[in-house]
Structure 1
Amino acid sequence: MSEVRVLVACGAGIATSTVVMKKIEDLFKTNNIPVQITQIKIAEAASKQDNADLLITTTMLPTEYKIPAVKAMAFLTGIGQEKVEAQILEEVAKIQSK
C-alpha cells in the first residue's frame, strides 16, 4: 500500500490544523494506512497540490483544486466527525485504487 500524501490546512496553518492533524494521524494509524501529512496555510494549497493526494481543511476553500478536498470542521466541533472520517477513508480508497 502506497503512502498517501495529505495536506492539512487552516487559515494560518497553526492552531486548528494542528488539532485536525493529530486526529488525521490517528485515523490513518487505526486503518493501517501509511500517510505523510504536511501542515499548511490554505493560501499555500494551490502551490502544494501537485505533491499531494488529498487536502483536508478547516476553512472555506478559496478555489478549486486538482486533488480531492475534504472540509473537516467536524474534527473541531465533534459534530459529524464519523461522517467526515468515512469521507476521508472513501477518498483514500479512490486514491489507492488508481
Structure 2
Amino acid sequence: MDISIIEEKNNTLLNRKELNFNVTFEGPTPARNDVKSKLAAMLNVPIELIIVQDMRNMFGKQELSGYARIYEDASRMKEVEKGYSLKRNEIPEPEAEEASEE
C-alpha cells in the first residue's frame, strides 16, 4: 500500500490539518485502520488523533482517494467531531480481536 498526499491545508481555527490523499494497493481494499496507521507513520503523529472521513474506491482500479483530518490534541477533536465519526475511527482493542477469533 502506497499513500501520496495530494493537498495539505492547515486549519488553525479548528487546530487541525486537513489532507486529501490517494492510496494505491494490491489485493482487497485496505481497511480504514490500515490507512490511519500508514498515515500516522508517514506524518509522525499519534494514530489516535487521525480521523479518516472519506475513502472512495476508484472503479476498475487498485486505487482510492480519501480525506483525513489530523488534530493537535484529543480534547479539541472530541469537541469538533461528531459522535459517529469518532466511533467509526476508533482503534479496535487487541483483546477484542483475539476473543472474536476463538
TM-score for the superposition, normalised by structure 1: 0.25
The structure carrying a bigger helix percent of its residues is 1
The structure carrying a bigger strand percent of its residues is 2
Higher CA-based Rg: 2
TM-score for the superposition, normalised by structure 2: 0.24
